[in-house]
Amino acid sequence: MIYLDNAATSWPKAPGVIEAMAEAMRTAGGNPGRSGHRLSVAAARLVYDAREDLARFFGVSDPSRVVFTANATHALNQAIRGLVMPGDRVVVTGMEHNAVMRPLRDLEAQGVEITVVPAELDGWVSPAALQAALGRPARLVVATHASNVTGTLLPIAELARIAHDAGAWVLIDAAQTAGVVPIDLRSLGVDLLAFTGHKELYGPAGIGGLVIADHFDPTVIRPLVCGGTGSRSESEIQPCDLPDRFESGTPNLPGIAGLGASLAWLSGFGLENIRAQRERIHAALLDGLADIPGLRIYGTGDVSRSVAIVSLTVRNHPVSRVGHLLDQEFGVLTRVGLHCAPAAHHSIGSFPGGTVRLAPGLFTTETDVAQTLDALRRVAER
């Protein structure tokens, strides 16, 4: 089996993840921050250590500004619904995932104005296009760091500068970049970042987070969920303290433990080495695909301007048939269709049929690439 669906969820997981999750349930099974006994203290220490590691990873000085959520979708909803009110205007790119577009469309029905900045056919969003869209005031700009359809990296630092100059806050979706592209909120200049643990961080499903930049006032964000936090228990009012303001209820302790283990492994591997390995595999895949007649490749075709995601179509073959043949006859696992990102497919011209998406990961080998190319060549020849 050749697994090329890492943009949906990475597999296999980083070494040590499963063991860390089991160990957390064995030895730190208390409720963190809720009690003073040893199991609760051990659980709280585990959560804090992971929070501290993530703060360093994303370039914030205060670990309490890393808010744990169930996934990136949860984090994006917390930021969007917590900041935007009827009458506000939100500017988004034409490459956004439904984790952004669906909450915004829901808010649109409540009186929020949505402006979509058009993307180019390769998935690029130009700073000039954002500048034009911000000719009128906006409360928030939301942008994907890299498209889950084409892998195209957007110029986030420049987009953030333009947005701030226009008086808008900036939220980025780093679901496809956290773990493969170095991210420092201070140098990027963004206000909020949503990430998930189960993709490029090689952690478990069910854990992600919202990172709040050091300069950003978190009290302007309304909590998505209110409830018990283990703190300020004398009050029935949601606390303002971070991270408790946004972390009501019992956290996913095994998930946090697994994410902590994956972060430790990735840090030992080194992001520079990760990026180099991914570019090498990505380049080999693109080079081989260029020699197969009948394929259409979407995206920039430049590994330095994208993450390792390749979308393609095969002439005279519906994408569902291509995916089925790759899986059943050649053992190559891909994802076909619209990838929960119809806006992106509209932008690159692949709507409504969608594409076949190849998303290699850290454990993808040159042999895997060669066998995938051979399989696609055989499918295209039919």
Quote the strand ranges of 118-168, DSSP E: 140-144
With both helix axes pointing from N to C terminus, report the angle between 38-58 and 17-27 in degrees, rounded to the nearest 10.
150
What is the C-alpha separation between 182 and 264, in angstroms, rounded? 15
How far from chain centre, in Å, is Cα 137? 27
What is the C-alpha separation between 80 and 74, in angstroms, rounded? 10
Residue 162 token pair: 């333009």
What is the C-alpha separation between 197 and 193, in angstroms, rounded? 13
In sequence order, the 6+-apart residues with CB closer than 8 A to the CB of 270 are none
List, in sequence order, every residue forming a beta bridge with 68; answer none if it has no partner: 209
Residue 138 token pair: 């906006």
Residue 79: name the closest of 187, 213, 188 by CA. Answer: 213
- Catalytic residue IDs: 340
Distances (CA, A) of 140 to 117, 119, 155, 200, 367: 13, 18, 17, 26, 45
Contact between residue 170 and residue 164 where contact means Cβ atoms under 8 Å apart: yes
What is the C-alpha separation between 170 and 189, in angstroms, rounded? 9
List, in sequence order, every residue forming a beta bridge with 192; answer none if it has no partner: 171, 212
What is the C-alpha separation between 47 and 251, in angstroms, rounded? 9
With both helix axes pointing from N to C terminus, report the angle between 366-381 and 319-330 in degrees, rounded to the nearest 10.
120
